[in-house]
Amino acid sequence: MIFRTACREALGAPALAMAATFLAFGAAVQAAGLGFGWGLAAALLVYGMPGQMVLVTAVALPGGALPAVLGAAAANARFLPMAVALSPWLGGGVRRWWALPFIAVTPWAMAMRRLPGLPAESRLAWFLGFGLTSWLVAGAATMLGHAIAPLVQGPVLALLLLVNPLYFALILASEMRAAPSRRAVICGCGAVPLALLLPAAWGLLAAGLLGGTLAFLWGQRRERR
């Protein structure tokens, strides 16, 4: 029951955001001269848009695969703190490993809002329902984007790429009522100059580490008072 509820929840704004972004990704894969299977594997098995886009851009450049992989992995390094933050909500058994392929920004952000309010025995089912639905939407949108790539260019592609940041901004804005989230968002935005100074793949990771650590220390200090 909770599984189906989660599937339905994933089919609103989250599905639109996923579909738009992965449609743009499918078109970018086709434009880079990469195959349909490559794009689908990247969408479903990497399942982290910044890293996917870094990889698509970088593999086309001379210099080999390794720099592309390092840059893309750095861009997706947020999976580690996300999985750490999510793990305690998924229960302690081995079943929580089923969630592994679905840990990405959209399911994670929605899960951090929803899971604390659900009974412990329903949390994993909710995450699997939401995650699986989002994952399937991402795969379908990538296939469609690859197929209709000539139609997804210029301003249309740019608008599709804007859907993701706008959607994430809405998620974060709805989280701002909680003080720890508010502090993390403020410090993350404050650390943006670091992201702009460093190479793109490393900059976001560095800004997140700095901003997130400062926000955490800020919270610790307030608790001690």
Partner 1 sequence: MSGADLALILLILACALLRAAGLLVAGRLRADHPFVRWAASVALATLAAFIAVAIVAPTGMLASIPFAARLSGLAVALGWMLWRGGMLAPLLAGLSATAALAALTAA
Site for partner 1 in 118-147 (CB under 8 A): none
User: What is the nearest approach in angstroms of partner 1 to the Cβ of residue 23?
Assistant: 13
Please count the helices (runs of H) and the strands (runs of E) in the chain: 12, 0
Rule CB under 8 A: say whether 46 interacts with partner 1. yes
User: What is the nearest approach in angstroms of partner 1 to the Cβ of residue 147?
Assistant: 19
Q: What CA–CA distance (Å, rounded) separates 168 from 40?
A: 23
Residue 98 neighbours by CB distance under 10 Å: 14
Burial of 25 per CB tally in 10 Å (0-12, 13-18, 19+) = buried
Residue 128 near residue 7, CB atoms below 8 Å:
no
Task: Among 17, 18, 23, 149, indicate the residue that binds partner 1 (CB under 8 A).
Answer: 17
Task: Record the tokens describing residue 57, joined without a space.
Answer: 């851009």
Beta carbon nearer to partner 1, 140 or 157:
157
Rule CB under 8 A: say whether 88 interacts with partner 1. yes
The contact mask relative to partner 1 for 145-184 (x = CB under 8 A, - = no) is: ---------xx-xxx-xxxxxxxxxxxxxxx----xx-xx
User: What is the nearest approach in angstroms of partner 1 to the Cβ of residue 125?
Assistant: 17
User: What is the nearest approach in angstroms of partner 1 to the Cβ of residue 4?
Assistant: 20
Beta carbon nearer to partner 1, 109 or 140:
109
Q: Is the Cα dihedral 188, 192, 194, 199 positive or negative?
A: positive
Max Cα distance, the chain (Å): 59
Q: Which range touches partner 1 (CB under 8 A), out of 132-140, 141-149, 187-195?
A: 187-195
Rule CB under 8 A: say whether 197 interacts with partner 1. no
User: What is the nearest approach in angstroms of partner 1 to the Cβ of residue 42?
Assistant: 6
Q: Which of residues 20-39 bind partner 1 (CB under 8 A)?
A: 24, 34, 38
In sequence order, the 6+-apart residues with CB closer than 8 A to the CB of 149 are: 26, 27, 30, 31
Task: Among 3, 5, 36, 73, indicate the residue that binds partner 1 (CB under 8 A).
Answer: 73
Beta carbon nearer to partner 1, 147 or 200:
200
Q: What CA–CA distance (Å, rounded) separates 201 from 219?
A: 28
Q: What CA–CA distance (Å, rounded) separates 83 from 60?
A: 31
